[in-house]
Amino acid sequence: MAGAQIPAPTRDGMPTLAPILEKVTPAVVNIAVLQRSPEEQNPLLRDPFFRRFFGGPGQAEPQIAAGSGVIVDAKNGYVMTNAHVVKDAREVLVTLKDNRRLPAKLVGADPGTDIAVVKVDPKNLVDVKLGDSDAMQVGDFVIAIGNPFGLGQTATSGIVSALGRSGLSMEGYEHFIQTDASINPGNSGGPLVNLRGEVIGINTAIVATGQGIGFAIPANMVKRVTAQLIDRGRVQRGWIGVALQPMSAELAQALGLPDTKGAIVARVYPDSPAAAAGLAQNDVIVGFDGTTVDDYHQLQRLSSEAEVGRKVKLDLVRKREKKTVELKVAEAPDTGPSGDTATRPPKRDRER
């Protein structure tokens, strides 16, 4: 499905996106990886067509065209991409638009948000500005740039189709920008750009059975995560110590709630901030430090982004009565969202 036609600057009386792309594309890169084991090769290599061009295990050219990235700090050589693009990579190679090929070092990766940062030699690089994703609205025009199917740098256009998408999986901190700008395998890690030439998202996922449904990580989330990855090589997340259950119309009625907003506490973990604050099973959290909680995905994100050691107020509904409690945010015992979802208990044995 083709993306929407974008109103654009004109050249010789004809509309064109060329000035925007001329500004942004020098900062967009191709990322190839050599993975740790043949069993974890890029799935593109299962296709005979791609094996013909990129080779397979044991062939002369072991590099695999895995995805895309964008230079966000030319002075220091920082390149942003998806965590799944560089997962289990033994070697990372970045190819610039001018065909320079630079070895890259992994600075840090955060599977929870699917964001990673690699570093290359900062000589003669061009970067691009990260914009304000919170300012985007449904209907705003956007451009997706990347390396789909290993074909080389490609730009597609469309609009912001939806904001704040979540529920794609139970494994991440989701708050996606949805777009109908064509995103295909190989676009992962490439930028979603507004008409000012600012990166407002990092392309990360598609609906395999759908057309015109792609997802990007919002730039504001990217800023927070990359700053921590560059500073300490990992992301420090807040944790309140509850497992959450999604709300439904039936549960809302049974609990005496006027609507389905909020998140149900399915379990309170021992020795957690929630336990110290007196939270209990079946409490419904409807507010987090002044922000209305729409669903458990939002609460998971709000708690993870809260500063460790900060005191926050939770608005609850308990047995049809409203209540406010205060707790001190702790550091999440796991790099993923497991401490705040109902999928599994927190893992405390991961090496930090």
DSSP category for residue 330: E
Q: Which of 73, 84, 140, 166 is catalytic?
A: 84
Length of the chain: 352
Q: Which of 133, 157, 161, 188 is catalytic?
A: 188
- Environment class of residue 165 by beta-carbon count within 10 Å: exposed (0-12), middle (13-18) or buried (19+)? middle
Q: How far apart are CA 230 and CA 116, in angstroms?
A: 10
Q: How far apart are CA 236 and CA 218, in angstroms?
A: 19
114 is catalytic: yes
Side chain identity at 264, as an amino acid letter? I
CB of 241 closer than 8 Å to CB of 121: no
297 is catalytic: no
CA dihedral sign of residues 149, 155, 160, 166: positive
Q: How far apart are CA 215 and CA 203, in angstroms?
A: 6
Strand pairing category for 199-206 and 89-95: unpaired
CB of 98 closer than 8 Å to CB of 43: no
Where helices occur in the chain by DSSP H, the ranges are 18-24, 48-54, 219-232, 249-254, 273-277, 296-305
188 is catalytic: yes
Catalytic positions: 84, 114, 188
